[in-house]
Amino acid sequence: MKISYDELKTLPGGRLEFSFNENLAGLDAVKPVVGELQAGLSAAGMRLSGTVKTLLKLSCHRCLKPYFQALTVDIDERFVNLVEYADFAGTETKERELKYDDFFEYLPEDGLLDISDVVYQAVTLATPTYCHCGDECPGLPEKEARTGAGSGHSSESVASSSDADLERLDENSIDPRWKNLKTLFQKGKSGEES
């Protein structure tokens, strides 16, 4: 979905309210991103604001199980027309304190703002970096907690294991994501012997 800066100028009040409902590629969203947005003219360009919601499918970093999380994102972005801003920018000093109004993006040269891209960026930035399925999370399965495989949160249990216990573990107990490290250690030992 795209909005034209030039067409926005012709609308009464320079304002457009619309519903957003799209499946955005690249997100772990189970449902489409939906919401109410409004685009309006600002002093030097366009302002996009509103709220969007979606349902994400994430993987817990503690127990490694998938879970669903509702996400609500408030959007408030300013876009400046480069031609109009260039006249104003020449009068500014080079060093100054940044204020809230100083954070903006430039409108594309063709004047078409891709709303889908703005919403995608906002949802991506609002997605949690540490995913945790809840207070009742069981943590790592018992077998992985004993071996230290998985996410690495079980350093106490690994420290209590002896080297002999770790050597006795079969290959099936190793988290598949760490399997390649075992070959590196074997190559290192064979290189030391020669």
Please state the domain extents for the chain.
2-126, 142-193
Task: Strand 45-59: give its sheet, edge to edge.
Answer: 15-22, 33-41, 45-59, 66-80, 105-106
HSE, side-chain direction, 13 A CA sphere, residue 64: 13
**What integer pLDDT is reported at residue 36 of this predicted model?**
93
Residue 158 confidence (pLDDT) above 80: no
Percent of the chain at pLDDT exceeding 70: 64
Residue 156 confidence (pLDDT) above 50: no
Whole-model pTM: value is 0.62
**What integer pLDDT is reported at residue 190 of this predicted model?**
63
**What integer pLDDT is reported at residue 143 of this predicted model?**
53
Structure-model confidence comparison of residues 87 and 156, the more confident one: 87
d(CA 56, CA 59): 10
